[in-house]
Amino acid sequence: MGFWIMVFEALLGLVLLILGVVRGKNDKRWFALCILGVACLAFAVWLAI
């Protein structure tokens, strides 16, 4: 089960990061999603260790 949580967190992090960068070009408030995306990716890497 931990593996699937790690995969979900990694995918969620990538989606949030990409969405934040794409939407952040027009509205700077969307860059907050980049922070959440990086946090999700960091959590996925921590679970992988």
Q: How confident is the model at residue 48 (pLDDT cuts 50, 70, 90)?
A: confident
In angstroms, the CA 41 to CA 15 distance is 10
Among positive and negative, which fits the CA dihedral 33, 39, 43, 44?
positive
The 8 Å CB, 24+ separation contacts for 34-39 are: 37/12, 37/13, 38/13, 39/13
Per-residue pLDDT, averaged over 25-48, amounts to 87
pTM reported for the whole predicted model: 0.80
Which tens digit of pLDDT belongs to each residue from 8-32? 999 999 999 999 889 888 888 888 8
Q: How confident is the model at residue 49 (pLDDT cuts 50, 70, 90)?
A: confident
Per-residue pLDDT, averaged over 32-49, amounts to 88
Per-residue pLDDT, averaged over 29-44, amounts to 88
CA angle, 18 as apex, 16 and 20 as ends, to 5°? Answer: 65
